[in-house]
Amino acid sequence: MKLKLARASMSAKPKLIELSKIEEDLEKKSIFYFDKENSHKELKSLIEYFENKAFSVYMREVKYGLNDDEFIYELHIVK
């Protein structure tokens, strides 16, 4: 599964990340930011994947502007 990481700027395109790469990065960090272009279904699948591996996962939307479409997803994945 490929997901889009949050953009560094409004004009930038989101970078793709593989599920295996996220799993590798868990050794270094536990918070990941994903772009609003990811579907809610994809993010739910990601959460279920890590919960099945005995991780605790918390997801929330982070607003960075006043418009409804100005948000990113923040995921905390901890053992």
Residue pLDDT, tens place only, 11-32: 899 999 999 999 999 999 999 9
pTM over 0.75, yes/no: yes
Element spanning 23, H or E? helix 19-25
The pLDDT of residue 10 is above 90 = no
- What pLDDT is stored for residue 55 in this prediction? 96
**Can you give the residue range of the structural domain that contains 19?**
2-64
- Residue 42 DSSP class: H
Average pLDDT of the chain?
94
The answer as to whether 52 is a domain residue is yes
Q: What is the total count of domains within the chain?
A: 1
The answer as to whether 40 is a domain residue is yes
Query: Cα(64)–Cα(50) distance, rounded to whole angstroms?
Result: 27
The answer as to whether 45 is a domain residue is yes
Question: 46: which residues sit within 8 A by CB, 6+ positions away?
Answer: 1, 3, 19, 22, 57, 75
The answer as to whether 43 is a domain residue is yes
Query: Cα(57)–Cα(68) distance, rounded to whole angstroms?
Result: 24
Confidence of residue 46 (pLDDT cuts 50, 70, 90): very high
- What pLDDT is stored for residue 79 in this prediction? 87
